[in-house]
Structure 1
Amino acid sequence: MRLFYSSIFFYLLSISFVFAQRNAVQGKILDQEQKPIPGVSVIVEGTVRGVQSDQNGAFVIKDLPVGSYALKTSMIGFKTQSLSFSIGKDAVKNLDFVLVEDDIWLESFELMASRGMNGQGRLPEVEDFRINAGRKNEVIHLGEIDANLAMNNSRQIFGRTPGITIWENDGSGIQLGVASRGLSPNRSWEFNVRMNGYDITPDPMGYPEAYFTPPMEVVENIEIIRGASSLQYGPQFGGLLNFVLRKPDPSTRFTAETINTVGSNGLFSTFNYIGGTEGKWDYTAYYQKRRGNGWRDNGFFNTDHAHLEVNYAVSNRLKIGTEMTYMTTESQQPGGLTDAQFAADPSQSIRSRNWFSTPWFIPSLNADYIVSPKTKLNLKAFGSIAERNSVGFTSAITQEDDLGNRQVDRDLYHTFGTELRLSTAYSLFGKEHNLVAGYRFYKGNIDRNQKGVGNAGTDMNFDLVESSYPRDLDFDNVNHAAFVENMFNVTDKLLLTAGLRLENISSNMKGILNTVNGVPQLLTPEQRTRNFALLGFGGEYHLTKTTELYTNFSQAYRPVLISDLTPPATTDVIDANLKDARGYNFDLGYRGNIGDFLNFDASFFYLNYADRIGTITQTAADGTRFQFRTNLGTSVSQGVEAFVEFDPITAFVGNSSIGYIHLFSSLAFVNAEYQDFERTSITNGEIVVSNLAGNRVENAPRKINRYGATYRFKDFSMTWQLSDIGEAFSDATNSVEPNAAATSGLVPAYSVQDLSAGYTLKKKYSLKTGVNNLTDEAYFTRRAGGYPGPGIMPADGRTFYLTFGVKF
């Protein structure tokens, strides 16, 4: 493995020192006071070639073929400029720009310049190969927030994003569990989880659990588009969650950075990055190692991440690139607790032999082709070769570990997908409109092996004592999809969107469901083919230059997953007649900024989820209680989501020589309830009929509020944040009293505080520190029915971290 990382480093280092090509255009970008402007985008119009100005305002674009071109600059806060030029053989053309401030964007530019209100933004109406207009969306700029990025602390990262529920049972930061609007946070599976626009889950239509999460130190932005993303990205109810990694630095041939963190419980993390642009080539690579003992007893994690990206401009119109991402994990799972154990000591653990590992390899290819100045194509091909491995004693937490043979479960994932997208702008009735269309093919295979008999050891070992797995399932999923969406600029203030997505899903499941006394019990082969269409429309009305009303309606769909059809290694029972769920999302909101001191987004949402798949607590004839997974009828989630950030010093004083204070609130009221579902149970030997109508949806707190304050002075910043989350139920029956195994019962409300600070010196050196769970609150967000529980999964108590970084 070390040889692999070393080879990547020296290969990329050699690229960065390729000698200069002969033809080039170069220059400087200055403001009206003749001061250099860094970070300005410089694009050769109608081509794939472009760079950014460096810290001195300088830029150079090498290896341009002989011809005539136009060079365009763009940066928020300044008017776009374009200069025409011609270049001959072996020529170097010098072009300098003097940029003029743009009144239309001046408020946004000043807002950014005040250095504090840029942590939460929004997507442009049209960008690259997608239409974002009319959608509820957020962009989290990780470089602008104070947070424990080394540990992927999701509570801080999503602090400004209203309505996000978080399962905080994985303090290692290996996996992310988030959701919104009454949906399940289980490994973020109600979202379409992507990285740089392509899938990173085992199978979005068959098993969308996000076992892989990139290190937040290399993530530049997190893009969230709520349910209205279904037309362009797939039918998931939750919408899109896309991690945008830091791209190759377009302003220099070579840059390097190292970020190192130490903290509580033996935490050590090192993140190392290189990247740059040279002529037609650009490249980036990172390596991160993170390890620690965890906050709870019997907790340990050791992770390695590596990523490589190389792009090449084949011609002025065609650019191709490749990415490769690799992750290995070694994680000891402390297991669940009963309510009594949690009350006594939430950091304790009575499971010492449970281990988890997810080796993950994700290769991808990307190609951009410019057909004309207004029409372009993008092709992505991607796949994964990955595993999900666990070993341990997984019986109910009330059963003592007998220190005998452990259970081994292993999933193998092999997937391949490709997406072709077209984006074009055209004129009609004197207005320019935008159209985006695409086709997607995806094929996934999941080889699920469970209930294997492992050894009686204590280490991470997935070897079998017996030769085969009692459960051996094979799941194949093939997905074809096509979509088209158009944005109509009706007037200068009003725009409308409309689109259609066609889906074809073919699923095949076969194998051995169980083995009894050495006799395999074959699963009746199940084949399902679905064809359906999704419709959507939306709109925006610009009340002012910086504020707008928006609305959208979009249908959604969730096929039965392999995890729905196979129970975890506990007492869950699966309904043999499970069917797919379908429904729709609706949003109506108002957003924008007022001056350079107030940023806001407030909206009403309505989510209809028919034939929702979930679990209810049932009582068997012998009086024992068990979890039953079935279609629970229709649930409706409705409520309000609001975000506001206010800078009182800028509002009342203006420019400040002592820094700025920014106050933010992220508020959500979520009323997620079941509409109608009749159920029967046995009480004292008698059949009792009841109905879920009016019951709250599990894992859906009604109150999701987060508050914070950030103080910034020059290169120093400090942020305090309070998360105030309401109570939730762990099952659809809304059981308040916990069962003995602690898999059902109330999840109490909680409040937790975080404090982080950072300082940057000469834009090269950075020092960050913080305390998570400042007051050492004891709380939990999840009752697990299976692995990594079962039982209560406590959140981490108070932890500290210290980070030092250097850029070269």
Structure 2
Amino acid sequence: MFSRIFTIVLLMSLHFVGFSQKSTLIGKVTDNSKQELFGANVLLKGTVRGVQTNTNGEFIIKGLSAGDYTVMVSIIGLKTKEINVNLLENETKTIDFQLDDETYTLKDVQIVASRGVRGNEHLAEVDGYSINATKKNEVIKLDNINANLAMNNSRQIFSRTPGITVWENDGSGIQLGVASRGLSPNRSWEFNVRMNGYDITPDPMGYPEAYYTPPMEVVDRIEIVRGASSLQYGPQFGGLMNFVLRKPDISTRVTVESQNTVGSNGLFSTFNYIGGTEGRLSYTAYYQKRFGNGWRENSYYNTDHAHAELSYAITNKFKLGAEVTYMTYESQQAGGLTDAQFAANARQSVRSRNWFSTPWLVPSLSAEYIFSEKTKVSWKTFGVIAERSSVGNVSAITNVDILTSNRQVDRDYYNNFGSELRFITDYKFLGNTNTVASGLRYYNGNIDRQQQGKGSTSKEIDFSVEGQYPRDLAFNNINKAAFVENIFRFSKKFLITAGARVESISSTMEGRLSLTNGQPNNLTPATRERNFLLFGGGAEYHITPQSEFYSNISQAYRPVLISDLTPPATTDVIDENLQDARGYNFDFGYRGKVANYLNFDVDYFFVNYNNRIGTITQTNAANQRYQFRTNLGRSVSQGFEGYVEFDPISAFFKKSKIGYVSMFASVAFIDATYRNFKTTSIVNGQIVEGNLSGKSVENAPRKINRFGVTYNKKGFSITWQMSDIGKAYADASNTETANAAATTGVIPAYTVQDLSASFKFLKHYNLKTGINNLTDERYFTRRAGGYPGPGILPADGRTFYLSAGIKF
């Protein structure tokens, strides 16, 4: 339906445009020394039209209606210039720009120049349709870092983002497991994970695990807004993580790029891209193929990613877009290890028949209308049509996998649809310009879950089953939301933000829980309705044009998930009054920069997490024990995060013929503890109640420190990085001595180093290389209680990669 509407509107618009005489604007952009500027942004203010200059500093904007325009040209490090232009019908007008040097402030997106610091950026106070003022946020610009992008190496990608925990158990680079501030990194489920502004998880309100991660070779930047993003994007405690893909090249008609990588353990990756702009039409497409054997035994992977995007400016104020992403892969899961097995040989695997696959299709349509320079509206509609399929032996790692036994098959099917409408405008109040952003959201998530199927005895990937799945459940989540947030500017230095979000969630569960002698044990169909109102606010004070204090407090909540509503056994009981977890995020920090040689951001945070869900043992009227899942208590995460990056050569010598050095430190101290959390245990046949008060939250190291040095000269850049991560516990009881199955116990502290380099030459070519885990450390970041374990999941030892690329 939507595709038909889009096609009809597009054809009508092309027909309409074809009957009018259109004008063209061409020109060149240079600096004070008459040097042509590549990549300068040339925008027509108050419209959707814009291009970038090519390698000769030239630009062309076609298909313009006659009239008056304000042309704005900008590039980082130089002063933005505006010129008013009047175009006659069918006129081609030439206009050149010369940009002057200028420093810039935090009101703009902080982007590093070719020399000086090369670290993370911050989002502008207002960026697109979002208000980011007063919020702790980071922008990871992939072009600014040396990293193994072919393998999505998270340790390197998030190196300059303080407080980020990374689970390093997936050497294939297929899935991402990150968290911040003591939250769980399990498939990044505490973040609201998006791509280009729309959801890519199975169901943010019911099953938020991130099974899809876009290839980092096509990602332009990663936007992270901590928990204060809850008002505008969703209530998750972790906040927003948005992967922004490279947009169609607006500097040329056609740009073609190919990047090919080889490396350890049979790694081969090929990434191929095409994009460009012709008049009102912009397009892009990429394809990535990656396969290898993995660092451990039984860890083969074979992935395919494809993406296509098309946008068309129907008028100067109205633009339509469409994009579609598809991923499919086969991944052999090496499984977990006991502590003894890990110590003897971390590369070994005792599970040779475990496989995993998640074909993922994400279509999207969008529209944008610019009413004026101050007011605009956007609409996005999107879907997730996907699967999660696993086959293997999921019993404790101490149980031998008999190669002639049947494996277990579990499958999920996702058919989801969502739509968001956003509006933003500036308005005058008491002589100052204020900004209000608002939006509406609708999401309908459908999950069909089939589990515990009797699979084949094969060693290969095979999801066929004998007979019926014992467990066959259907879940539906309908989420409706509305938000409004406002910036009140009291002066050039001081502003506050205030906003609210209302959420409505309707969850339905039905189906079969198990089969006993062929007889179904059906769940009683259940529907849960919840409505929430969240508030948040913040303040920001500019000490200098390039530094500011910021603070924000915003409510958050974690909806009851599908896993919370599904008992693992027929005797288990779910609290019919089970409540969503609720709490808030608080930040207070100071951030800024000094010229182009120093960036910094230091803050204190506090995350209050109420009504955490857990399981306790109880006794029924027949004196039989059962597991009762309910809200058990509260945890608090608080601490300090700091990021600083410094270029001494730019600071003391301004310019250098021998290159520049950038040094960074990203440090975090995190105290994540339970304040009140009830537990039970069985002692001498009796139920004994306890409390986790004072215990560390599982998977939450107290220190997360990363340090690095980058040297760059012209097209050459090399980076050394060290990660120094503290110990953590795999279970909430803080068990020191691991159990036999290795699912509980300490996750030891570790230090790991990486070395990466890149060289760009002759404008069109590049070479990249690196060694990950330089000293070949043996460590792990996760003890898994279930798939893809159970047991210790070792991180990769030393690996290398070599990549060659061309772009023209």
Asked whether the two chains share a fold, i.e. TM above 0.5, the reply is yes
Q: Does 1:464 align with 2:465?
A: yes
Give the fraction of aligned pairs with identical amino acids, expressed as a percent: 63
Shift of 1:189: 0.3
Looking at structure 2, the residues matched to 461 and 395 of structure 1 have their Cα atoms a distance apart, in angstroms, of 19
Q: Deviations over 1:521-577 (max 9, x none)?
A: 111222111011000001110001111000000000111111223367x99977545
| TM alignment of 1:434-453, pairs within 5 A | 434-453=435-454
Q: Deviations over 1:727-754 (max 9, x none)?
A: 1111111111111211111111111111
Structure 2 counterpart of 1:200? 200
Structure 2 counterpart of 1:125? 125
Q: Deviations over 1:101-154 (max 9, x none)?
A: 224469999983343523311000001101000000000000110000000000
Structure 2 counterpart of 1:269? 269
Q: Does 1:249 align with 2:276?
A: no
Q: Is the 8 A contact 2:661 2:710 kept in 1?
A: yes
Structure 1 counterpart of 2:778? 778
Looking at structure 1, the residues matched to 420 and 99 of structure 2 have their Cα atoms a distance apart, in angstroms, of 38
Structure 2 counterpart of 1:670? 670
Looking at structure 1, the residues matched to 520 and 35 of structure 2 have their Cα atoms a distance apart, in angstroms, of 76
Q: Is the 8 A contact 1:272 1:286 kept in 2?
A: yes
Shift of 1:699: 0.7
Q: Does 1:735 align with 2:735?
A: yes
With over 3 angstroms needed to count, the CA separation of the structure-2 counterparts of 1:753 and 1:128, relative to structure 1, is: same
Q: Is the 8 A contact 2:540 2:548 kept in 1?
A: yes
| TM alignment of 1:12-411, pairs within 5 A | 23-104=23-104, 112-115=112-115, 117-403=117-403, 404-411=405-412
Looking at structure 1, the residues matched to 175 and 628 of structure 2 have their Cα atoms a distance apart, in angstroms, of 26
Alignment partner of 1:247: what SS? coil
Looking at structure 1, the residues matched to 627 and 73 of structure 2 have their Cα atoms a distance apart, in angstroms, of 60
Shift of 1:647: 1.2
The amino acid that maps onto 1:509 is M
Looking at structure 2, the residues matched to 485 and 414 of structure 1 have their Cα atoms a distance apart, in angstroms, of 31
Shift of 1:627: 10
Looking at structure 1, the residues matched to 144 and 572 of structure 2 have their Cα atoms a distance apart, in angstroms, of 46
Shift of 1:596: 2.3
Alignment partner of 1:232: what SS? helix
Looking at structure 1, the residues matched to 463 and 618 of structure 2 have their Cα atoms a distance apart, in angstroms, of 34
Q: Deviations over 1:683-702 (max 9, x none)?
A: 23344332111011011111
Q: Deviations over 1:284-342 (max 9, x none)?
A: 00000000001111110000000000000011110000000000010000111111111
With over 3 angstroms needed to count, the CA separation of the structure-2 counterparts of 1:706 and 1:617, relative to structure 1, is: farther
Looking at structure 2, the residues matched to 504 and 582 of structure 1 have their Cα atoms a distance apart, in angstroms, of 15
With over 3 angstroms needed to count, the CA separation of the structure-2 counterparts of 1:732 and 1:618, relative to structure 1, is: farther
Shift of 1:100: 2.0
Structure 1 counterpart of 2:415? 414
Shift of 1:764: 1.1
With over 3 angstroms needed to count, the CA separation of the structure-2 counterparts of 1:308 and 1:574, relative to structure 1, is: farther
More displaced stretch, 279-288 vs 671-680: 671-680
Structure 2 counterpart of 1:532? 532
Q: Is the 8 A contact 1:28 1:58 kept in 2?
A: yes
Structure 2 counterpart of 1:769? 769
The amino acid that maps onto 2:188 is S
Looking at structure 1, the residues matched to 428 and 788 of structure 2 have their Cα atoms a distance apart, in angstroms, of 56
Shift of 1:587: 0.1
Looking at structure 2, the residues matched to 697 and 412 of structure 1 have their Cα atoms a distance apart, in angstroms, of 32
Q: Does 1:566 align with 2:544?
A: no
Looking at structure 2, the residues matched to 560 and 537 of structure 1 have their Cα atoms a distance apart, in angstroms, of 26
Q: Is the 8 A contact 1:78 1:105 kept in 2?
A: no
Alignment partner of 1:655: what SS? coil
The amino acid that maps onto 2:191 is F
Q: Deviations over 1:662-700 (max 9, x none)?
A: 111110001011111232211233443321110110111
Q: Is the 8 A contact 1:29 1:36 kept in 2?
A: yes
Q: Is the 8 A contact 1:77 1:108 kept in 2?
A: no
Shift of 1:794: 0.8
Alignment partner of 2:583: what SS? strand
Alignment partner of 2:560: what SS? coil
More displaced stretch, 377-386 vs 91-100: 91-100
Structure 2 counterpart of 1:431? 432
Looking at structure 2, the residues matched to 721 and 648 of structure 1 have their Cα atoms a distance apart, in angstroms, of 18
Shift of 1:356: 0.2
The amino acid that maps onto 2:263 is G
Shift of 1:244: 0.4
Alignment partner of 1:229: what SS? helix
Q: Is the 8 A contact 2:673 2:695 kept in 1?
A: yes
Q: Is the 8 A contact 1:730 1:747 kept in 2?
A: yes
With over 3 angstroms needed to count, the CA separation of the structure-2 counterparts of 1:783 and 1:629, relative to structure 1, is: farther
The amino acid that maps onto 2:745 is G
- TM-score if structure 2 supplies the norm length? 0.94
More displaced stretch, 630-639 vs 57-66: 630-639
Q: Is the 8 A contact 2:118 2:662 kept in 1?
A: no
Q: Is the 8 A contact 1:566 1:574 kept in 2?
A: no
With over 3 angstroms needed to count, the CA separation of the structure-2 counterparts of 1:114 and 1:250, relative to structure 1, is: closer
The amino acid that maps onto 1:286 is Y
Shift of 1:617: 11
Looking at structure 1, the residues matched to 395 and 117 of structure 2 have their Cα atoms a distance apart, in angstroms, of 48
Looking at structure 2, the residues matched to 617 and 92 of structure 1 have their Cα atoms a distance apart, in angstroms, of 79
Shift of 1:95: 1.0
More displaced stretch, 287-296 vs 570-579: 570-579
Alignment partner of 2:112: what SS? helix
The amino acid that maps onto 2:432 is K
Looking at structure 2, the residues matched to 387 and 268 of structure 1 have their Cα atoms a distance apart, in angstroms, of 25
Q: Does 1:699 align with 2:699?
A: yes
Looking at structure 2, the residues matched to 374 and 133 of structure 1 have their Cα atoms a distance apart, in angstroms, of 17
Q: Is the 8 A contact 2:618 2:687 kept in 1?
A: no
| TM alignment of 1:674-693, pairs within 5 A | 674-693=674-693
Shift of 1:21: 8.9
Structure 2 unpaired stretches of 5+: 1-17, 620-624
Q: Is the 8 A contact 2:113 2:596 kept in 1?
A: no
With over 3 angstroms needed to count, the CA separation of the structure-2 counterparts of 1:461 and 1:79, relative to structure 1, is: same
